[in-house]
Amino acid sequence: MSTLVAVYFNPAEVRSAWAYALLAFYITHGAAIMFLLRSWNDSTVTFRVLVHAADVVWPALISLLTSSQSNSFFLFFFFVIAAAAYRWGVWETVMTSVASASLLWFESLALRMGAFGPLDRWLMHHNLPLFQEDIVSFDPKRLFMRSVYLVVIGLLMGYLAEQQKKLRAEKDEAGRLLGMIRMDTGLALNLSHIVGEMMRLYGSKRALIASRESGSPKITLATVELPEGIAHLTWADTGAGGADTYLFPSVAIAWYARKVSRRESEHNGLGLNGEGALTAIPKDSLLQRFAAQHTFERVLAVSFSSGPDLSGRIFFLEPELSSNAEEDLRFLQDLVRQVGPAVYNVYLVRKLRKRAGALERARLVRELHDGAVQSLIGVEMQMDVLRRTHPIAAPLGLELERIQQLLREEVLKLRELMQEMKSADIDARKLPGFLHDAVDRFQRETGIRGSFIMDDQELLLPQPVCRELARIAQEALVNVRKHSGATHVLVRLLESKGIWELLIEDDGSGFSFTGRISPSDLDVVANIPAIIRERVRLIEGELTIESRPGRGSRVEVRVAQHRQAAHG
């Protein structure tokens, strides 16, 4: 329609009546194509190629019948190039512009050789309008400049269209990932869906998610795999030195590394820093620590920081990157930045639920203390009064004494359970008072003398470490009461050169071995408390146990001052 308007204002551009016929044919052709596209749900590749070929040929034909290639009809070449950029990529667009220029050169050659002369004579013989070709417009010098214009425009439009498609695809992918996040499915399931989709994008069959909460030395490691195309997340053990293996310091926020075939200890690749500039990948020594835990030929990694409370790194093993690895890294970095806040919201919801659970446990502790514990103590006291004030036969008296002892044991177990439920919010400020109260209560309830000693130093340990130390002390005191037969227990919290030590020492029966058991030998000894070992591992501490059978035992837990995460 725009061409009809142009012809209306400047009819001199049309040299032959055949141009109107071609224009009418092209309008009919375009209307038919629009009708077919509305009728078909999905067009075939052959149909699209044929339509595009007709779009390429038609401007070349009508250019023969117009006054100059600088008129409005020459814009049809731009339309064809724009259509190619919309339908395909940059190289297809360049090929379209080259094909259009080639047709113009072919027509120029045909004009120079007089190929249209017989056709004009035939039209004249039958009293039909002549073609009236514009030979001047097909001069090689002028045609050369027109060809350059077409190729340059094809290259620019193809490149711009390619970038626009890439941006649109990236936005669509980010939107699809954000749409997969659900607040009611939990953090683990959301992570498995999101990381699984990223694995499909980069052709990886296995991924690792290492994360750490602010103020905690504990590293959480999850493995995501795609068996039969379905993401499956499992929690894994980080092993010794998890922070150095997975969350080592690195300037590169996103990086790709592959082993050099000549030497397995060397890696090359590329990385991006926080500003998106190219930077070096992590050192080979750091990658070797990771390779000792997970064998790989290629690894793609990206760091994330979701708010002030959660940070970590995602590793994709054996990814398949495109020829432009830098663009793949930038896309991954942008994707994590866009999806990170939504995942952080899920994390906050989980944290709020844990907080609500802590409040509910505190309420339950109060109810147990005011209800069941008081009732059991009352029954035990009544039985004691009954046994002491009434003459009872010896067998029955012994049975009542046994029942009274069982009630006392149940009261102690309930109080120990209540203390475990209350120890969730212990920090560096509360830990000394908690240990002091725990030892005093232990002494009152068991009759075993207890003492607590602490250095006059400021306690600088994060809240999760303090919580685990409190639970370790609780578990050790329970073991002393149940198994040691001790008459005295000593709990100490000491500091030496940045190392805090929690020591629980008693004069009871001890363990079955003699001497000190180092951390590397703890797994060999069967009767070492597994709960204490697990809690020490969670805070990346060091556990040593000393035993003197018949004379007592000593449990030592060492933990370093908190180190801030430095993984970008």
Query: Higher model confidence: residue 53 or residue 251?
Result: 251
Structural domains for the chain: 2-175 (no CATH), 184-352 (3.30.450), 426-568 (3.30.565.10)
List of long-range contacts for 46-50, beta carbons under 8 Å, 24+ apart: 48/87
Residue 16 above 70 pLDDT?
no
- Is 0.75 surpassed by the pTM of this model? no
d(CA 29, CA 156): 28
Look at residue 416 in the predicted model and tell me its pLDDT: 65
Average pLDDT value for the chain: 78
State how far the alpha carbon of 311 is from the alpha carbons of 94, 134, 213, 373, in Å: 45, 70, 7, 43
Look at residue 429 in the predicted model and tell me its pLDDT: 84
Q: Which residue is associated with the tokens 């000491």?
A: 494
Over residues 533-558, mean pLDDT:
86
Residue 509 above 50 pLDDT?
yes
- Contact between 225 and 208 under an 8 Å Cβ cutoff? The reply is no
Residue type at 432 in one-letter notation: P
List of long-range contacts for 165-172, beta carbons under 8 Å, 24+ apart: 165/89, 166/327, 170/331, 170/334, 170/335
Over residues 432-436, mean pLDDT:
88
d(CA 59, CA 195): 49
Highest averaged pLDDT of the listed ranges 105-109, 137-141, 154-158, 527-531: 154-158
Look at residue 133 in the predicted model and tell me its pLDDT: 63
d(CA 456, CA 458): 7
Highest averaged pLDDT of the listed ranges 147-156, 368-377, 381-390, 558-567: 147-156
Q: Quick one: which of 361, 364, 303 has its CA closest to 337?
A: 303
Angle subtended at Cα 241 by Cα 238 and Cα 246, rounded to the nearest 5 degrees: 60
Look at residue 565 in the predicted model and tell me its pLDDT: 36
Q: Quick one: which of 525, 555, 521, 560 has its CA closest to 540?
A: 560
Over residues 205-229, mean pLDDT:
83
Residue 316 above 90 pLDDT?
yes
Phi and psi, residue 252, nearest 5°: -75, 125
State how far the alpha carbon of 506 is from the alpha carbons of 185, 474, 478, 517, 536, in Å: 47, 14, 12, 17, 20
Pairing mode of beta strands 310-317, 552-560: unpaired
- Contact between 298 and 257 under an 8 Å Cβ cutoff? The reply is yes
Class of residue 136 by CB neighbours under 10 A (exposed 0-12, middle 13-18, buried 19+)? exposed
- Contact between 208 and 368 under an 8 Å Cβ cutoff? The reply is no
State how far the alpha carbon of 209 is from the alpha carbons of 206, 224, 288, 303, 495, in Å: 10, 8, 18, 10, 34
Over residues 61-79, mean pLDDT:
66
- Contact between 358 and 351 under an 8 Å Cβ cutoff? The reply is no
Q: What is the dihedral of CA 101, 104, 105, 108, to 10 degrees?
A: -160
Look at residue 317 in the predicted model and tell me its pLDDT: 93
Distance linking the first and last C-alpha atoms of the chain: 58
Q: Quick one: which of 103, 49, 48 has its CA closest to 76?
A: 103
Residue 563 above 90 pLDDT?
no
The SS3 assignment for 335 reads helix
DSSP, residue by residue, 228-253 = GG--EEEEE---TTHHHHHS---S-S
Look at residue 254 in the predicted model and tell me its pLDDT: 92
Query: Higher model confidence: residue 430 or residue 522?
Result: 430
d(CA 361, CA 424): 10
Residue 302 above 50 pLDDT?
yes
The SS3 assignment for 171 reads helix
State how far the alpha carbon of 51 is from the alpha carbons of 87, 423, 455, 482, 547, in Å: 11, 74, 86, 87, 88
- Contact between 511 and 527 under an 8 Å Cβ cutoff? The reply is yes
